[in-house]
Amino acid sequence: MVDLSFYRMDVLPTRFLTFEVKACFGAKFYASSSDTKDSTKPLYEIAIGSHHNERTIVRRRNDASLQASSRITEQSDTQNVLSCNENRPFWISWEAGSIMVGSGNRVGENVLVSLTDPDPFTVKVLGIMTGSKVIGEWKVYIPVKDNFTGYYTSCEAPGKRAVLLSLGVVSSSVLKCATMCSQLNSCAVFNYQNQYKRCELLSVGTDPLTDVPKSVAVGWQYYAKCYDENEACFGCFF
């Protein structure tokens, strides 16, 4: 299971998640009440395209015993809800004990299955995985807090230039370039060419980003903003 906290997702204030997945069957979410992923504690299990892409299931489990008395299950027939060949969008939500999963990009629409938990708990950890012997490709849209702390990282060796939406190119020192980017919320990355002191400020725009395009550029280096002290640096997750 891939723990989304590893990618700096702040689970506690979150009540829903949107994502895309490409898999033949068996895309699974686990939402645990334990911040140490202790399987003896209550958890929610969501399985999209279960039973070889025939059903979608939402389940509350008191523990990992698999005893019928320790779980509550809701399911529906969802033939071919997943695809081996294309990314398909879904959402899950867990507000106030109402556990839902749906298709599409809009939370609350096209509900596939829902379950009302009579004894809801606080979700502390979210994890994703695909079923046994299934290869899955995931795109999870994780909100990033605007809490830039002043750290930058280059992520890679010199000789690479990020190719994003340019906010302008100016002549300055690398320190002034970093300062200008820091003062602009829209600036996430800057390119710098040391020989001619060229500073290019870059924005990711408004669309969700699944990659940081780069080009080979001798003498240039790109620097990305870091969040949560210096532990979550834009561009280094890709």
The helix (run of H) or strand (run of E) holding residue 181 is helix 174-182
pLDDT at residue 234 is higher than 90 = no
Q: What is the mean pLDDT of residues 210-238?
A: 75
Task: Enter the pTM of the model.
Answer: 0.68
Partners of 1 in the β-ladder: none
The pLDDT tens digits for 119-141 are 999 999 999 999 888 999 999 98
What pLDDT is stored for residue 6 in this prediction? 76
98 vs 117: CA distance, rounded Å: 6
What pLDDT is stored for residue 143 in this prediction? 66
Partners of 148 in the β-ladder: 227
> The tokens of 149 are what?
């702390």
Q: What percent of the chain has pLDDT over 90?
A: 61
pLDDT at residue 78 is higher than 70 = yes
pLDDT at residue 64 is higher than 90 = no
136 secondary structure, DSSP code: -
The pLDDT tens digits for 171-221 are 999 999 999 999 888 888 999 999 999 999 999 876 666 667 889 999 999
> The tokens of 185 are what?
């919320």
Half-sphere exposure (CA, 13 Å, Cβ side) for 62? Answer: 9
What pLDDT is stored for residue 72 in this prediction? 95
Q: What are the strands, taking DSSP E only, across 64-146?
A: 71-77, 88-95, 98-103, 111-116, 125-130, 137-141
Provide the 3-class DSSP secondary structure of residue 98: strand
126 vs 150: CA distance, rounded Å: 29
Of 221, 167, 42, the closest CA to residue 117 belongs to 42
What pLDDT is stored for residue 145 in this prediction? 58
Find tokens 């999209």 and name the residue.
Answer: 48
Q: What is the mean pLDDT of residues 16-40?
A: 93
1 vs 4: CA distance, rounded Å: 9
Of 206, 223, 226, 210, the closest CA to residue 147 belongs to 226
Provide the 3-class DSSP secondary structure of residue 213: coil
What pLDDT is stored for residue 12 in this prediction? 81
**pLDDT grade for 62, boundaries at 50, 70 and 90:** very high
Partners of 193 in the β-ladder: 198, 220
Q: What is the mean pLDDT of residues 23-47?
A: 93
Q: What is the mean pLDDT of residues 84-92?
A: 96
Q: What percent of the chain has pLDDT over 70?
A: 90
Q: What is the mean pLDDT of residues 110-122?
A: 95
3 secondary structure, DSSP code: E
What pLDDT is stored for residue 231 in this prediction? 57
For 86-117, letters b (16+ CB in 10 Å) and e give eebbbbbbbeeeebbbbbeeebeeeebbebeb
